[in-house]
């Protein structure tokens, strides 16, 4: 069975973006990029909620022409070549979307993705979709990068899961001398 891996950046006070939706605060260095690349090597499908999708599709199709960076040069071709599933109630898809999954039958659709052939699936960022999939017991691993910043508000890392969910810490490490990345699994 394929796993769903959730990869997300958070502030120390537990927000994934700032009070005005800003995402200009993550400390991105070579060790964090290497960690992210390690997750990418385990997957063959990328999963996005609508808001994160709009950020990704607004940058990655032509990222190399916008930024000269080794991480961008490495990730952009992977992003373009990898199938992408977007979860949305209203988005019909675009040229970069492999599939759109709506609210109807979401649990069955995701269970079928997990039961299919292939490598693991990577859910990047967002909290709404992660909360729904967590509540359905469909996320297998959580990789949370906690950055050295207090945002004082924004979208919470976990949008009211509605119940207590126990996780098992697998590994925690300091990367780039600034960011603590912790890998959790559902027991």
Q: Please give the DSSP secondary-structure letter assigned to residue 36.
A: H
Answer whether residue 161 shows pLDDT above 70: no
Q: With bands split at pLDDT 50, 70 and 90, how would you rate the model's confidence at 155?
A: very high
pLDDT at 162 > cutoff 80: no
pLDDT tens digit sequence for 85-129: 999 999 999 999 999 999 899 999 999 999 999 999 999 988 899
The total domain count for the chain is: 1
Name the percent of the chain lying above pLDDT 70: 99
Q: What is the pLDDT of residues 20-36, one digit of tens each?
A: 999 999 989 999 999 99
- CATH number of the domain where residue 99 is located: 3.40.430.10
Which residues span the domain enclosing 14? Answer: 4-185
Q: Are 114 and 2 in contact (CB under 8 A)?
A: yes
HSE of 83, CA atoms in CB hemisphere, 13 A: 12
- CA distance linking residue 82 with residue 86, whole number of Å: 13
pTM: 0.94
pLDDT at 126: 87
- Please report, rounded to a whole number, the percentage of residues in the chain having pLDDT higher than 90: 83
Cα–Cα distance between 87 and 23 in angstroms, integer? 21
Write the pLDDT tens digit of every residue in 21-76: 999 999 899 999 999 999 999 999 999 999 999 999 999 999 998 888 888 888 99
């Amino acid at each position: 069975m394929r796993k769903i891996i959730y990869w997300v950046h958070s502030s120390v006070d537990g927000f994934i973006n700032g009070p005005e939706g800003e995402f200009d605060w993550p400390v991105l260095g070579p060790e964090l990029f290497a960690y992210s690349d390690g997750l990418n090597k385990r997957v063959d499908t990328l999963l996005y909620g609508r808001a994160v999708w709009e950020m990704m599709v607004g940058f990655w199709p032509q990222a190399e022409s916008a930024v000269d960076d080794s991480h961008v040069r490495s990730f952009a071709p992977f992003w373009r070549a990898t199938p992408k599933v977007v979860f949305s109630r209203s988005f019909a898809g675009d040229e970069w979307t492999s599939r759109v999954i709506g609210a109807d039958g979401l649990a069955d659709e995701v269970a079928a993705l997990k039961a299919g052939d292939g490598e693991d699936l990577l859910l990047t960022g967002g909290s709404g979709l992660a909360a729904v999939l967590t509540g359905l017991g469909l996320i297998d691993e959580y990789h949370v990068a906690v950055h050295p910043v207090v945002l004082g508000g924004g979208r919470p890392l976990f949008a009211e899961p509605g119940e207590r969910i126990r996780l098992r810490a697998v590994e925690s490490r300091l990367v780039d001398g600034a960011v603590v990345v912790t890998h959790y699994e559902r027991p």
